[in-house]
Amino acid sequence: MEGGGRPSATQAVLLAASTALTALLYSVYRQKARVARGLEGARRVRLDGDLRAVLLEAPGRCVPYAVIEGVVRSVKETLSSQFVENCKGVIQRLTLQEHKMVWNRTTHLWNDYEKIIHQRTNMAPFDLVPQEEGAGVTVRVMKPLDAAELSLETVYEKFHPSVQSFTDVIGHYISGERPKGIQETEQMLKVGTALTGVGELVLDNTTIKLQPPKQGMPYYLSAMDFDSLLQKQESNVRFWKILTVIFGFATCTVLFFILRKQYRHHRERQHLKQMQDEFRQAQERLMREMNAEGGETLKNACIICLSNTKACVFLECGHVCSCNECYRALPEPKKCPICRQAISRVVPLYNS
C-alpha cells in the first residue's frame, strides 16, 4: 500500500487486468451459451414428403433455425480428384504449405514454422437428400463455405522435402531459417457423405434451400450427427464457464486483498487519531493543573506516568515528554507518544 491507503501501481494493474480478462471470458461464455441454447431449441425436420407441407404452413415459408440430416449429392457435375482415381466430390480444396525451422533468438532453439503459400477451393452446387433411396425431397445447400464445422476429408497428402547444398545449409544457419519442404494436400467433400445441416430452411418457389440464418446464429454443416454436435457445443460452454469462474475468483481475491489492506490502514489511522486526542487531552489537563497550582513540578512531569520528571529527548522529532522508565516501557517499535514518529535514538536530559 502506498501513502494514504491507496493501492500500489502493481495491485491496480493486476486488479484491472484480472477484471478485464474475467469480463472478456464471461462475454465469450455468454455467447457460447446462447449458441448452445439456440442449437438445442432448433427445430428438427426430416427429409420426407411432409417437409414441403411444413414449410408451406410456416410463416413466410421459412423455418428460422432448423436441423436437417441428409447425404451429399451433386446437382449437375461433380469435381474429380487430381490425384485419386474415381474420387468425386462437390468441394475441393488444394493447399501448398511451406514447412521450415526458424531460430528463436530469445530461447536459442529452432522452432517449427508453417505457412500456407497457396490455396484454392473449387465448389459445385449440391443437395442434401435422404439416405433412403426413392424419396424425391432434396434440400439445396447455399454458401457451404460460410458454415462452421465443415470438415473436408483429406484424400491426398504428400511432403516434398527441400534439396539443399552445403552452401545453402551454411546460408540458412546464418539467416536463421532452414527450409524443410513443401506439403501438398487435397481435401474434398465427397459425394455420399452424411451431413448434418443447421440453418435457415426456406421454400423458394419450388426449391427448398438451407442457408445461413439471419438472426446471428451460427450456420453448421457437420459430419457429426446432431446429438454429437450439440454435446460438443455444451462441452465448449462448460469449458468457458470454468475459465470464467477461475478468473472471477482470482479477481475477487485481489479485490479482497486490497480492501483488507485499506481496512487495516483505516484502523491504524483511527487508532493514531485516538492516541493523539488522548495526549492532547492529557496536555490540556496538565496545563490546567499547572495554571491552578502554579508549580514547576507538574510542568516538568512525564506525560505518561505524571509522577517522574522528563528525562530524555526523542530524536529525530525532538519531543521532551517522557522519563527513562516510561521510555523503556514503550512497545516496539518505539514511537514518540506525541507525534507517533519512530524514535531513532534517545538523548538523556540533565536538569541543572
pLDDT digits (tens, 9 = 90+) for 230-253: 999 999 999 999 999 999 999 999
Mean pLDDT of 21-32: 94
Averaged pLDDT for residues 157-169: 87
Sign for the CA dihedral angle at 218, 219, 222, 225 comes to positive
Q: What share of the chain is helix, strand, coil (3-state, %, to 5)?
A: 40, 30, 30
Cβ neighbours around 107 below 10 Å, total: 8
By the 8 A CB rule, do 317 and 341 touch? yes
Residue 1 predicted with pLDDT over 50: no
* pLDDT at 352 (0 to 100): 58
pLDDT higher than 60, residue 297: no
Residue 293 is predicted with a pLDDT of: 54
Q: Is 261 exposed, middle or buried (0-12, 13-18, 19+ CB in 10 A)?
A: middle
Task: Output the pLDDT for position 2.
Answer: 47
Residue 311, phi then psi, degrees to nearest 5: -135, 10
Q: How many CB atoms are closer than 10 A to CB 29?
A: 20
For CA atoms 285, 290, 296, 297, give the dihedral sign: negative
Q: What is the mean pLDDT of the chain?
A: 87
Q: What separation, in Å, do the N-terminal and C-terminal C-alpha atoms of the chain show?
A: 47
Give the model's pLDDT for residue 157.
94
Q: pLDDT-based confidence at 206, cuts 50/70/90?
A: confident
Q: Specify the pLDDT at position 4.
A: 53
Length of the chain: 352
Percentage of the chain exceeding pLDDT 70: 93
- Please report the pLDDT score of residue 302 as a whole number: 83
User: From CA 224, how far away is CA 227, in angstroms rounded?
Assistant: 8
- Between 227 and 4, whose confidence is greater? 227
Residue 201: pLDDT over 90: yes
Nearest by Cα to 43 from 69, 65, 70 = 65
Kindly state the average pLDDT of the residues 192-208: 91
Q: What is the mean pLDDT of residues 137-165?
A: 90
| Confidence at residue 243, expressed as pLDDT on a 0 to 100 scale | 95
Q: Is the pLDDT of residue 306 over 80?
A: no
